[in-house]
Every structure is written in C-alpha cells, then in structure tokens.
C-alpha cells in the first residue's frame, strides 16, 4: 500500500509567539486591574471605617475634665485616713514626684517596651495571640500603657472592635502629642486604685499615709498590683490577696532587671506591710460624715476631716468586743455588741458599732435605742441627793405594787431596811421605785433630760430603765458624772479643711455647762466606785480608781456597763438585733468583762 503523505504545516496557520504573549498579558492585566480596583475599594472602606471611628471619638479636652463626686476624707487624730467618700483624687504629680519603684513596678508588670514602641507593641500583640490561641481563650492582653491611658481617660470598657479601633487611634494621637513621661503622668494621675481612690498620690496617702514619692518597693508593688483588679486586690479589704499579688509584681521587677534576685528575695521575705486601715472605725467614719453634712451640707469640693478617734483606743475596743463575742457569744445566745470610748471632754476616741462593719450599715452605738435598765438608776439617786437625802438615808427594800406592776430584785429576794448607798451598790429595784414616790416623776425626768436622756413618759418604771437611749448618749451622760456635773456633747469632729489646707469648719464649745450640783455628783460618784468593789460590777474592777454601773433589762434582752476613770468614759452594750433574750447575760457579766479589758489596756497597766 502506498503511504499517505503527512500534511505539511503551514506557518501562516500557527499562532505566533507574540500572539501568545498578548493573550497572556491580557489576562494578567485584567487581574491587575481588578486587583487594583478591589484594593482601592478596600482602602476606601477601611478609610471610611477609620473616619467613622474617629468621628465617634469623645472630645478629648472635655473627657479630661470629667466631672466627679467631691471627696470627703475622714482622718483619725494622728492624720491617718480612716475612710473616704466620693471620688478621691490626689493632687497632680509629675514623674519626678513619683517613687521610681512605682514606675519600675508598672513598666515591669504592664509594659516593658513602653519607651520603645509607638503606642502599640506588635511583639506583645503576636505573643498574646499565640498564648490565647494555645489556651483556647483570652488569657493574656497586649494593651500598652498608652492604650490603657486612651481607654481609661476617654473610652468605655466595652470589648468591641469599634472601641478597640478607637483605642488604637487615640494611642497614636497620644504618642504624637505627648512625651513618654507625660503619658506616664497621665496614667498615674487618673488610674483607679480601688475604694473610690483615683491617682497614685491619693492611693499612696489613702493606703500608706505618705506621698507617692516616698513609697518603698513593697508598697509600690502593692499599689501597682491593685491595678489588675482594684476590688480584688485592695490592701484594706483583701490584705492577703494584695500581698500575694505584690509578690508577683516584685518577681516581675526582678525579671525585668529593676531588682537583683537577692533584692527581690529580701523584699519578699520581709513581713507584709499592711495598708493603714481603720477596720471597724467605718462606723465612726459614717457617724462623722453625717455630722459634717449636718454642719456644712452636701460637700461641693474635696474636704479633709480631722477626727477625734484614737487608733490605739479603736483597736483595743474592737479586739475586746470581738474576743468576748467569739468566745462567749454562741453559748450565751448573744450575737451583737457596741462600745464607745470618749474622754471627759466628750471627744469620742473609739466607736465600735457592731461585730462587723458593713458600709452604710446599722450603727448600734448611735442608732440603736434600747432600754438602759439599771444604768439609769444613778440619775434617780442623784435627784435624791440633790433634794437633801444622803447615802445613809434608810429605805425599805420590800415588796411594792403600783396598780398591776410589782417589781422585784434580780436575786429574787428582798433585803429589808437598807441605806441608799447599799441599794445602789447592789442595784436593788424596789428602793428607786420608793424614791420615785417620794421625789415625783417630774423631778427625775428633769434630771435625765439635763443629762441628755429624755424620757417618753414619767411613769414609775422609768427608774428601772423602761425608756430608751443610745449607747453614745448614755456614755455622754456618764461623762458628765465623771466631770463633777459639767455636761458634754459627744463629738467626733475636730476640724475640716479643704484641698489647700484652709480650715473650713472647727466646732467650738464642749457642752451645756453645769447641769448638776457638784456635791451631789461627788456623793454619787463615790458610791459608783463601790459598785466595782462590792457590788454588781466586780468583774469590771480595775487596779486604779474607777466608777460605773451595770444594767440589765427584762428577760436579758439588753446588758450594759458604763463607767469612767480620771481619763476615759466607756460604755458597753450587748444584745441581739431582733431583741431576743440572751442566756444568763447581765450587765455584771460579759459587758463588765469587755469594759474591764478595754479600760485596762487603755490605761496601759496604770
């Protein structure tokens, strides 16, 4: 067979190399054109979004002047902060006025690359993304100090993309407008440290009673440690958690090279230096705050109140009451108590308004009106002595009945003919009732009123304490007995000054003057001294001259001991908020012990 011949290629029919290039170039051109268009549109979209975010930024100058509640700071007699109300801001301090330990602790813990980044730290962002990815959730943040300033000063805490973009824009703006040190100053002066305290100067004075420039390494670590969670790491309310967090900050400082390992170990080995707290003095602080508002009205500026409270006396009173309730409370069905200590001028040196302070809670020293029981009897006998009767005047401790009321003695016995001295020392009940019949109710209620114990009626039961009184007022009444009949007004306020140190208010005058005959009071005081030696108050007896009186109400619902020395007047009340009876508790038992413990420690073994 003949082979068929292969057709010869025709050069004219095959595409040229130029045609192939043209066709490929056209495709790439289309891709480039579309890619450019997409990039332009994306850029426009991003730009529009940035404009939208920037448009929504707050007015920076206005945000920097954010209004706040005026602060009122209550100090004890030594100048230590007891409590603060409102938003407390310290004076603006520059970097030179801030302890270098504070700056080092902040940089080591929050932003080690602060002086090298432009507001955002890309390395921290990458590291945080990797840590969070491996953890399967948010475990580490990447905000720089600049970003935190932007957020704290100008933005909300919402965790949204919109807010985050605004934060970045403001961070860039801050870096462009301020130096690094100025950004640090903004941070330290506006950051929140907990307890209503803003700014490092206010926090240093609030927690450690010293300016920010004098804070040591450990205190700096505590203050910086609170920034992570101000309520959780507050050194006043959570000292153990604050200490644990501070030790981590100290480790950060060593890791960053600000401390050697030996220095860090030395700081961590030392005992934690607690923040300076008033503890249960919050009851006192609330009381003083009310008195300031009564005198000056709601504060319209920051005010500092120097009070009369003695921190040593406050600690003694708190420990004595707490120890007794912890040891005896359950077995005697008693859950609450209160203590007031004042000097003879009426200045309150300690106030415990309950077992545990609750901000704004019920103050059993100033707000609880309870029946005083036999602590009212000294004013009955004082009326008798002022009328001409004497301690040796004889009276019959025998059954007595007035209409349907027949009082009896606590021991269930009657003791026949006794002197007024004996009747008061042993707190017999029928004798003051007979004095009521002899003197008249009006004379007795008038005496009580002069001593600040007004009576709601003038019936015979008032001589056994059927009226009502607060512990504070009853203690002030006994202060007048300690003063020989010169009355006092209880006070906790010494002076009020403004931020510049100018005196705004200073109470004057200490009381109503003479309210009882001096000789009659001296006679009464001598008998009240015997109450601690031979009478119902033996458990309160001291190694120094003292006088006082027990008081117990019907069914043991209230138990009191109020007494005085040449320096202090102290009142103690025990009971239950629901007015339920206690078990075997009278004024001469647990209250007398608390009174003894407080007064013994106050006088330092004198």
Give catalytic residues, as residue numbers.
110, 374
Rg of the chain taking only CA atoms, in angstroms: 38
Find the farthest-apart pair of alpha carbons in the chain and give their distance in angstroms, rounded.
168
What is d(CA 145, CA 227) in angstroms, rounded to the nearest whole number? 12
Q: From residue 536, how far is each of 177, 328, 424, 465 by CA, in Å? A: 76, 20, 9, 16
The residues near 254 (Cβ < 8 Å, ≥ 6 apart) are: 260, 261, 263, 264
3-state SS, residue 108: helix
Nearest to 76 by CA among 234, 303, 237, 312: 312
Contact 357, 346 (CB under 8 A): no
SS3 225: helix
User: Do 81 and 209 touch, CB atoms closer than 8 A?
Assistant: yes
CB under 8 Å to 248, separation ≥6 — which residues?
225
- HEC string of 365-427 equals CCCCCECCHHHHHHHHHHHHHHCCCCCCCEEEECCCCECCECCCCCCCCCCEEEEHHHHHHCC
Pairing, β 303-307 against β 72-75: parallel
How many residues does the structure list for the chain?
A: 606
CA distance 81 to 285: 10
Is residue 435 within 8 A of residue 419, CB to CB? The reply is no
Instruction: With H, G, I as helix, E, B as strand and everything else as coil, classify residue 508.
Output: coil
Q: If we measure between CA atoms, which residue out of 201, 207, 269 comes closest to residue 233?
A: 207
Contact 275, 246 (CB under 8 A): no
Q: Are 310 and 350 in contact (CB under 8 A)?
A: yes
Mark out the alpha helices in 200-301 (DSSP H runs). 200-208, 217-226, 239-255, 261-269, 282-296
């Amino acid at each position: 067979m003949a082979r068929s011949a292969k057709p010869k290629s025709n050069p004219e029919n095959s595409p040229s190399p130029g045609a192939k290039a043209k066709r490929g170039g056209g495709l790439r051109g289309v891709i480039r054109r579309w890619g450019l268009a997409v990039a332009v549109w994306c850029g426009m979209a991003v730009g529009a979004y940035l404009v939208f975010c920037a448009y929504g930024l707050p007015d920076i100058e206005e945000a920097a002047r954010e209004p706040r509640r005026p602060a009122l700071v209550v100090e004890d007699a030594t100048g230590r902060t007891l409590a603060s109300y409102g938003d407390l801001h310290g004076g603006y301090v520059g970097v030179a006025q801030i302890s270098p330990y504070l700056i080092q602790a902040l940089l080591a813990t929050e932003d080690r690359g602060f002086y090298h980044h432009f507001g955002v730290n890309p390395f921290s962002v990458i590291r945080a993304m990797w840590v969070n990815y491996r953890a399967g959730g948010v475990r580490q943040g990447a905000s720089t100090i600049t970003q935190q300033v932007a957020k704290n000063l100008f933005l909300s805490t919402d965790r949204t993309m919109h807010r985050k973009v605004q934060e970045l824009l403001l961070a860039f703006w801050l870096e462009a407008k301020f130096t690094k040190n100025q950004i640090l100053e903004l941070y330290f002066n506006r950051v929140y440290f907990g307890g209503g305290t803003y700014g490092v100067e206010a926090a240093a004075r609030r927690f450690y009673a010293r300016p920010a420039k004098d804070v040591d390494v450990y205190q700096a670590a505590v203050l910086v440690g609170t920034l992570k969670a101000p309520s959780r790491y507050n050194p006043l309310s959570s000292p153990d958690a604050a200490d644990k967090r501070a030790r981590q900050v100290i480790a950060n400082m060593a890791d960053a090279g600000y401390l050697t390992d030996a220095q860090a170990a030395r700081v961590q080995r030392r005992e934690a230096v607690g923040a300076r707290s008033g503890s249960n003095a919050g009851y006192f602080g609330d009381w003083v705050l009310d008195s300031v508002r009564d005198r000056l009205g709601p504060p319209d500026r920051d005010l500092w109140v120097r009070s009369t409270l003695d921190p040593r006396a406050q600690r003694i009173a708190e420990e004595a009451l707490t120890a007794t309730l912890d040891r005896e409370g359950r077995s005697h069905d008693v859950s609450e108590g209160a203590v007031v200590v004042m000097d003879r001028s009426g200045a309150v040196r300690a106030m415990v308004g309950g077992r545990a302070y609750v901000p704004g809670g019920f103050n059993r020293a100033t707000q609880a009106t309870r029946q005083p029981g036999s602590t009212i009897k000294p004013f009955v006998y004082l009326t008798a002595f002022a009328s001409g009767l004497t301690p040796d005047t004889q009276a019959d401790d025998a059954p007595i009945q007035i209409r349907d009321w027949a009082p009896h003695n606590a021991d269930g016995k009657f003791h026949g003919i006794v002197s007024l001295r004996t009747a008061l020392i042993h707190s017999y009940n029928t004798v003051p009732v007979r004095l009521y019949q002899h003197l008249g109710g009006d004379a007795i209620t008038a005496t009580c009123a002069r001593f600040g114990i007004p009576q709601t009626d003038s019936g015979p039961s008032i001589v056994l304490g059927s009226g009502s009184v607060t512990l504070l007022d009853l203690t002030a009444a006994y202060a007048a007995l300690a003063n020989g009949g010169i009355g006092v007004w209880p006070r906790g306020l010494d002076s009020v000054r403004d931020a510049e140190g100018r005196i705004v208010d200073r109470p004057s005058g200490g009381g109503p003057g003479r309210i009882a005959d001096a000789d009659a009071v001296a006679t009464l005081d001598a008998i009240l001294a015997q109450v601690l030696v031979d009478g119902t108050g033996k458990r309160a007896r001291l190694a120094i001259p003292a006088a006082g009186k027990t008081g117990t109400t019907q069914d043991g619902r209230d138990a009191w001991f109020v007494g005085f020395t040449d320096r202090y007047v102290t009142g103690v009340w025990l009971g239950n908020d629901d007015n339920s009876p206690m078990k075997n508790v009278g004024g001469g038992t647990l209250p007398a012990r608390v009174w003894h413990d407080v007064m013994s420690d106050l006088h330092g073994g004198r």
